[in-house]
Amino acid sequence: MAKLVFGMNQSLDGYVDHTAFAPGPMLFRHFIEQAREQIGGLYGRRLYEIMRYWDEDHPEWDADRRDFAAAWRKQSKWVVSRSLKSVGPNATLIADDIEGAIRGLKTRLVGEIEVGGPNLARSLTDLGLIDAYRIYLHPVVVGRGTPFFAGPRPPLRLVASERMDEDVVRLTYVPA
């Protein structure tokens, strides 16, 4: 059975914002390895459109960025959206019966599926479908933006904490 894991970089004040802070080299290598190990990613429209950046090579990329792009392109992707009419390579659009489609993925597949985006994570949390939450806590205060938890925080239990680089800690929680 597949496991749905929602994980994102988060500021000390609870926000996710890829333009306000970014992973350092050690944490980025972790994300490359994680992308290689996951069986796929489940995205909401907004984050999927941001991640499409990795679909095409860019001349300014270093070796790590090329490695991440290769791992991301190889993954299966499922995009939850009622407004998109099509999705890119190796991606499947889920527009109807979202709960049934995702429960089907969890039953049919084996391994870890990344959940991308706080709004999608909120919907999946409300349905009881997320198996773990990974917060990559950065020592940054953003002050505004999209919160990691787009709705009320579900009851959680801390199961692991790990220092990821000099100043980032990964906290792993499961539903309580």
Model confidence over 150-167: pLDDT tens digits?
A: 988 899 999 999 999 989
* Residue 89 burial by Cβ neighbours in a 10 Å radius (0-12, 13-18, 19+): exposed
In this predicted structure, the answer to whether residue 36 has a pLDDT above a threshold of 90 is yes
What is the mean pLDDT of the segment spanning 124-133? Answer: 96
Q: Which pLDDT band, with edges at 50, 70 and 90, does 61 fall under?
A: very high
- Give me the pLDDT at residue 101, please: 97
- Give me the pLDDT at residue 23, please: 92
Are 124 and 115 within 8 A, CB to CB?
yes
Helix axes 25-37 and 63-74, enclosed angle (nearest 10): 20
Global pTM? 0.94
Q: Is 2-139+164-175 in CATH node 3.40.50.12780? A: no
Residue-range domain boundaries for the chain: 2-139+164-175
